Structure 1
């Protein structure tokens, strides 16, 4: 299906791939993992032919159809369901030709082919995919322009899945999905009849959806069978065996060197010493996996603890205008609470968050009481939409911390794993998003 042979690719002289080799067979679902900046997204661009390797080759099966989600998300007045249906260009072309064809043989071929590609159940399949990604029947009839960039990314994903390419290239597909959508996508990928290569940092997704892991490290690609947990076990065992072999080799090296040192100038042992010198010269070091420590993310806590509760909802109805989304909320939040807020799309998760921040007020005579010294930090679901794509991480932190010194700004970036190497890189904004703070008293 896909063969990568001795792939070499450099960016400004820095090697991303050096003699990398990987084979992906039909029907397999492969998770591509590796540290940020090692070249996972670049590999996708190489596979799609958008850029060319410096050396080596990427061989795809003849006439294979690749499917990837474009950066340009669908927009305009076309409905969601129509946008997804249009992704199957062969079906659309055949249906259009069926309206004008006059040759009986051609008409027969058109209808036979439409049956072969299951064209008559297309609307049901498209609706099922959209529903799995969080769009109900009413949403599916709305124009794409009615939805935010994150939701339109879901439409683009739905369209690509509906087209059923031979091979899916998915780059962080769960980024714009809620829990329900991610679980649906896991199941869909598992039963997908084609092949898939998936970049993801979602451990659960990689455990449930893939059959193999391709690990990109030190410019090479290494293949492992199973999901992410199985990959970690195999990697740890491989490193353990290599370390044991390295220790054994070092013991042997010391014995050889000791013999050579002792008998180098002995007439009776000179031949044996020379033999051991040659053996030492031919001894290859055992390859070990280089440790690449992960910088911890530092989240600064409040200056001083607040007396509980920090927020209290008493018989609160929430919504917008005449629409009530949540009713009779009686809830308290204490300082040491860690709360996961789950629910289907449209059930009111964002509405509840906006009420916590004070962006909306109760619709009824209920009330929300906040601690007078409470400060709230909010990171939005589609925060990346608000970022300047040509600005660096440091550019954004300057805007957010205008009165801070350069050392303070860089310390804040370092606390999120953005050191000198990538703080000035515009693409680094995809690794850390701009944080907006909302305060309430």
Structure 2
């Protein structure tokens, strides 16, 4: 029985945390108080569920316990009119909710965590803490910082919400497109940090990748009319589908061109392709009603997913999509990825010429994939000595052990 209850509480933490905290924050008018109440509710569940059995709706039980404690605390402390008054929703938001525009309070929580007044690192930390329910220890471990550093970062973000009067509400309709972009950026960064770890012995951080997909699913559910939300989830699923083929049995990196595509997760690919079609089907993804950057990125991933072999990849279509993405998102990293596509359409020499133009961008000064891309292009042209120097440069900037091992193997094979 004890194991069953513990498993039920763990499952409720994984699936219901954001819902319970979001509803409690609306009552508590204080994020710290809401967190305390929710944590207390989960602790009570371990005791009460052993005595009374696991309730039919665990999330509702936890929400009731947490919100009651929050109300009791507010009555005792008299904080309702003093502490974080702007966390309470305004009448416009209530009308939107009554009209069915927004499904539940979790969207308030997501937009609060991703408020543009907060630094991006604080947005990510708050999202993982408040929306995903990760502890400061878990978040610190994921981002390779000390627990005290991460706890201070989260505390500062909460204090800024208090001092700045950031409202616990969904943005007004006219502000929604811009704010959605910030939310999607945070979700994408969470997944990216898990897909390829910046440091450490493993290629990935699976827990962060899983959390990123969970967040993307939540945002997709809460914003069903957003083509960009569909595009982001599609992108993540199509990317994650290749996960099992990215390393061999010895844990060594395998480039996409050498991957065993039989290992790709076909279920995730099928779901991802459906979402891409939806993202490209005229959804109001941007203020101008055009497909946004996550829709375009998902379309690129779809072209890769639909190729049964590396040789079947439609590089001309991918290059055209990168041209569109550069227009949507003029990022030096996007431009670098476009160069790779160009090399398979016009040849590595043409790509090297364009790559040279990117080399002076300060944003790429220590970016290891700039040097490794140059190395691969030089290798394909037979300029082995220059390729070796580029691999060595990439290795100097690489902290991930699996990627570093790949570069060393390239070097020891004489590039």
Question: Which structure shows the bigger proportion of residues in helix conformation?
Answer: 2
Asked which structure has the greater RCO (Cα within 8 Å, sep 6+), the reply is 1
TM-score range normalised by the length of the shorter chain: under 0.3
Question: Which structure shows the bigger proportion of residues in strand conformation?
Answer: 1
Q: TM-score, normalised by structure 2?
A: 0.23
Q: TM-score, normalised by structure 1?
A: 0.22
